[in-house]
Amino acid sequence: MHMHKFEKVWLIFGTVALLVFLTVLGISAFYLGNQPPSCLVTIDPEKVEVTAPFNAPGLHEVTGKDWDYELVFVASAFSYSPAKVEIPKGSTVKVIATSKDVIHGFEIAGTNVNMMLEPGFVSEYTTRFNNEGENLIICNEYCGVGHHMMSSRIEVVSK
């Protein structure tokens, strides 16, 4: 079988690129020890109300960490707890959330916060609130007949 020289060049280039990719992947995985994240935090969805920090949802000031506040949310049948929170402008906040019943979405409209809340798992995201005003939290995962009524609010106020 006769192959054109450009076909041979592309075949060699593709083979070399594949070998380089597999070599880099092997070095990264085995020599450097890089692995996919597997440190998921879990919780018993039937005991959310008695498990810290979800036994006291809301905004809590913290010290000695890279963030100023921890904002704890619990999602359940068409509602978030708490329903409204005030956060000082310029604060770095770690949002910690979970669901008690089904999969819910957690999106703070107008920001880059967008998480999926699954029963039995804890979702976390750290963000900074620099703009004053009201931010709407919506469920962006269909969770049942009352899904359209599921919302909460974050009010960013001056210090």
In this prediction, residue 35 carries a pLDDT of 73
pTM above 0.85, yes or no: no
* 3-class DSSP state of 37: coil
**Tell me: the pLDDT tens digits for 50-79?**
999 999 999 999 999 999 999 999 999 899
Least reliable range by pLDDT among 34-48, 62-76, 91-105: 34-48
> What CA–CA distance (Å, rounded) separates 40 from 12?
42
The secondary structure element, H or E, covering residue 31 is: none
